[in-house]
Structure 1
């Protein structure tokens, strides 16, 4: 996916919290924050609420401005779709335009923050399927935002961004009984300048730590007793992560241009295969990857995404209900259109008022009986004026709807998966 020509270098923000367990109670201690990264410190119970306005809320604004954002929360390569659990394996594909794409991962379109949070809660409830393995599994909740914009040539271009929220498990040491924190693996690969091409979780984490993304790490350490070996290791890992720097810029892409480019590469690859007389081998595999990449681009069409979202929403509720994992009442249809904008609501109200006036004038004309020619002409003139006013408002409403349906309108999609 193309990024803006100018980029900004940003630091990775880190917040580390200590929680000491004495008996059955946990005592919250200080959160140690990187002051140079414009972060904060809290030391008392309840003060952790300042994390949201200082560290997390700015990420949402940046996502809506086209930037990517990643939140890393830390209290065999397998992935489970938590919104639509089934036996299908989830595999990551590195797309030449869109970056990392997870094949067959359910995405559900949402229109409100409440709908997104409801899906998150349902995904958390679905994690029960992991049983005793839950302490060794990480999860990833994602929001993908696409804003459609018209280009001078008339074709649609998109500002595309995403928010990744990781919940990571494991210790800050390789010898930890619960397994090592996936961050350790990724940081070692970074130090050795080796791209983590194996494993879905390392690939996605690498993207958040090295790629085009504003990233925040919230590290909560459970302290066992007065002396705990985990603390220095955890602080050391947080310090290393804090030193990372990333260059960020808004992401833009054009489905039409991406499809044209991929089709051109497919034609070139086919010509090479025919010229070389290949019937298999690397060239054929590359052709297959290009064809799959083109299909992924085609599947990004909003109408296809909405139709697929509606289908997933219906099927997944049946599966979740059968497992006893469905929370509360059915959520509203995610394929429904959002409420009209305030401007559209005012225009609709005005049209209704004009139509009521027109109805009144028509009734008076029909009940008026024999009247003078002048009075009759005045009534007909008012009726004509009302019809023209209604037509003008309806055209204005249509233009406004068309404007808000193309440039500047965002489509937000949620996904949630379990990573082992």
Structure 2
């Protein structure tokens, strides 16, 4: 079943601003609380949220094999489990319903009142129940910068980095939606010049500019996913801020990697943008040298041109854009990450989340973390109000945004926004 949603000339009868992240070509999926305090699965066009549960009950998905309650749930997991064929059928139908020339819902005022919500009438929720969360380390520029700071600049990349997508398993219980504030974490650190650690609030809280992909049920225990099939099991992408406490991380990460410095919070954007919506924005990923082993080798355009931006807003201040990067900089692709993840027979389920790792470009203004932007505190960033930052301070708000654009069509992710509060 081909996707029919990417025609750049397609228009919706719902109003869509020229700079909107959510034209009719996007059709993302999310979960929201309605004005009647009902949780439903929905999509978005322009500044309108669309209740897919109500749309289904009113008969607009007739002919598509869906259970009666598929959209009347508080997560997308079951819908994602239905697989790519169902996702495409549903997106194609939504595209038809809201096409500017289709009068069925457009001219049915009673149905419109039931189905449509303005954004101030809803509250976005975490879109999936995340059973397992894996974070990769797949930006060559970021890995080189961190290796330069924490180890030997001459050996910034460890020998395995160019052969496998490095990753670790994180904690899914602390993944939160955009708009939910977090508290400064406490933990052990080793102050400079000290011989023994101390316990207390982290002094080096940092953001990490990432994206994450969400999987469907991919394999049975013991089975591997071939590289040329991996994308079939990727439902879509979200923006991802993988918060870090750098002083805690430096003390604890040897020999097993991140733990308390990472598991206190990670923030995701609420709308999942499908791979089908991103198809027109495919680009080649960076050249891989040495050539990956055969089970990880890919040809063609396997990455996406997604423009990313991070802004920092101090309490009572105005936003300052502190970095601009791009998802296409990632050395290891999503398909390679998922194939590697399952190459030992690891089972992957619907709703699992895979973080890309921090996305850094080759220039200082494209680095994806404060650790890199301020280069371990030696190059403070100046905000619009004159304040300086080497890490995130209490009551700072960090906002990640991202979009693709070509042929006059902009497909975006909205934003993920989080305020850092004092420790509790």
TM over 0.5: no
Higher relative contact order (CA 8 A, sep 6+): 1
Q: Which has the larger radius of gyration?
A: 1
Task: Compare the two structures and name the one with the higher helix fraction.
Answer: 1
**TM-score, normalised by the number of residues in structure 1:** 0.19
TM norm structure 2 = 0.19
